[in-house]
Amino acid sequence: MAAAADVPALRWGVMGCANIAKKNVKAIKAAAGNTLVAVASRSQERAAAWAAEQGLDTESGAVTAHGSYDELLADERVQAVYMPLPTTMHLEWVRKAAAAGKHVLVEKPVAVCAADLRLMAEACAAAGVVLMDGVMFMHHERLPRMGALLGAGELGAAERVVSGFSFPADKAFLEGDIRVKADCDPLGCVGDLGWYNVRFSLWAFGYEMPERVSAVTSRWTDGGRVPTETSATLVFSGGRHSTFACGFHTAFSQWAEVGTSGGLLRLEDFVVAAGPDSVRYTVRRPGGLIDDARRVAPVTETETEVLGCNQEASMFESFAACVRAGAASEAAAFWPEISLKTQLVVDAIMQSSKEGGKLVDVAPVSV
Amino acid sequence: MAAAADVPALRWGVMGCANIAKKNVKAIKAAAGNTLVAVASRSQERAAAWAAEQGLDTESGAVTAHGSYDELLADERVQAVYMPLPTTMHLEWVRKAAAAGKHVLVEKPVAVCAADLRLMAEACAAAGVVLMDGVMFMHHERLPRMGALLGAGELGAAERVVSGFSFPADKAFLEGDIRVKADCDPLGCVGDLGWYNVRFSLWAFGYEMPERVSAVTSRWTDGGRVPTETSATLVFSGGRHSTFACGFHTAFSQWAEVGTSGGLLRLEDFVVAAGPDSVRYTVRRPGGLIDDARRVAPVTETETEVLGCNQEASMFESFAACVRAGAASEAAAFWPEISLKTQLVVDAIMQSSKEGGKLVDVAPVSV
pLDDT digits (tens, 9 = 90+) for B209-230: 999 999 999 999 999 999 999 9
For residue B18, the model assigns a pLDDT of: 84
Q: Where are the domains of chain A?
A: 10-137+313-331, 143-309+343-361
Distance of CA B123 to the CA centre of its chain: 21
For residue B349, the model assigns a pLDDT of: 98
pLDDT digits (tens, 9 = 90+) for A284-320: 999 999 988 888 998 999 999 988 889 999 999 999 9
Q: Assign a CATH topology to domain A10-137+313-331.
A: Rossmann fold (3.40.50)
Residue of A nearest to B276 (CA): A295
pLDDT for residue B366 is more than 60: yes
Question: Helices A195-204 & A330-354, crossing angle to 10 degrees?
Answer: 120
What residues in B contact A263, CB-CB < 8 Å? 251
Q: How far is Cα A335 from Cα A327, in angstroms, rounded to an integer?
A: 10
What residues in A contact B269, CB-CB < 8 Å? 296
* Residues B168, A214: C-beta atoms closer than 8 Å: no
Q: Which of A348, A367, A366 is nearest to A358 (CA)?
A: A348
Q: Which residues of A285-316 are buried (b: 16+ CB within 10 A; e: fewer)?
A: bbeebeebbbbbeebeeeeeebeebbbbbbbb
pLDDT for residue B5 is more than 70: no
Chain A and chain B share a number of CB contacts under 8 A equal to 203
Q: Assign a CATH topology to domain B138-312+343-361.
A: Dihydrodipicolinate Reductase; domain 2 (3.30.360)
pLDDT digits (tens, 9 = 90+) for A175-205: 999 999 999 999 999 999 999 999 999 999 9
* Residues B259, A275: C-beta atoms closer than 8 Å: no
Best residue of A295, A316, A353 to probe chain B, by most B CBs closer than 10 Å = A295
Q: Are A164 and A255 in contact (CB under 8 A)?
A: yes
CA distance B259 to chain A (A): 6
For residue B4, the model assigns a pLDDT of: 55
Q: Which of B248, B250, B259 is nearest to B162 (CA)?
A: B259
Q: How far is Cα B211 from Cα B178, in angstroms, rounded to an integer?
A: 32
- Which residues, 6+ apart, have CB-to-CB distance to A364 below 8 Å? none
Across the interface, which of B164, B239, B269 has its CB nearest the CB of A218? B239
Q: How far is Cα A339 from Cα A334, in angstroms, rounded to an integer?
A: 9
- Which residues, 6+ apart, have CB-to-CB distance to A325 below 8 Å? A331, A332
CA distance A125 to chain B (A): 31
Report strand pairing: A34-40 vs A10-15. Answer: parallel
Beta strand residue intervals within chain B, DSSP E: 10-15, 34-40, 64-66, 80-83, 103-106, 131-133, 160-166, 212-221, 226-235, 241-247, 253-259, 264-267, 278-285, 289-290, 295-296, 300-307, 360-361
Q: Which of A120, A59, A47, A46 is nearest to A90 (CA)?
A: A120
Q: Are A191 and A185 in contact (CB under 8 A)?
A: yes
In DSSP terms, A163 is beta-bridged to A244, A256
Beta strand residue intervals within chain A, DSSP E: 10-15, 34-40, 64-66, 80-83, 103-106, 131-133, 160-166, 212-221, 226-235, 241-247, 253-259, 264-267, 278-285, 289-290, 295-296, 300-307, 360-361
**Cis peptide bond upstream of B210, omega within 30:** no
Across the interface, which of A23, A254, A284 has its CB nearest the CB of B292? A23
CA distance A250 to chain B (A): 4
Q: How far is Cα B214 from Cα B92, in angstroms, rounded to an integer?
A: 31
Q: Assign a CATH topology to domain B10-136.
A: Rossmann fold (3.40.50)
pLDDT for residue A1 is more than 60: no
Q: Pick B19 or B73 by higher pLDDT.
A: B73
Residue of B nearest to A22 (CA): B292
Best residue of B149, B155, B160, B315 to probe chain A, by most A CBs closer than 10 Å = B160
Task: Indicate the SS3 state at residue B175.
Answer: helix
Homologous superfamily of the A143-309+343-361 domain (CATH): Dihydrodipicolinate Reductase; domain 2 (3.30.360.10)
DSSP classification of residue A143: H
pLDDT digits (tens, 9 = 90+) for A19-69: 889 999 999 999 999 999 999 999 999 999 999 999 999 999 999 999 999
pLDDT digits (tens, 9 = 90+) for B272-328: 988 767 789 999 999 999 988 888 998 999 999 988 889 999 999 999 999 999 999
CA torsion, ordered A10, A15, A20, A21, to nearest 10 deg: 50
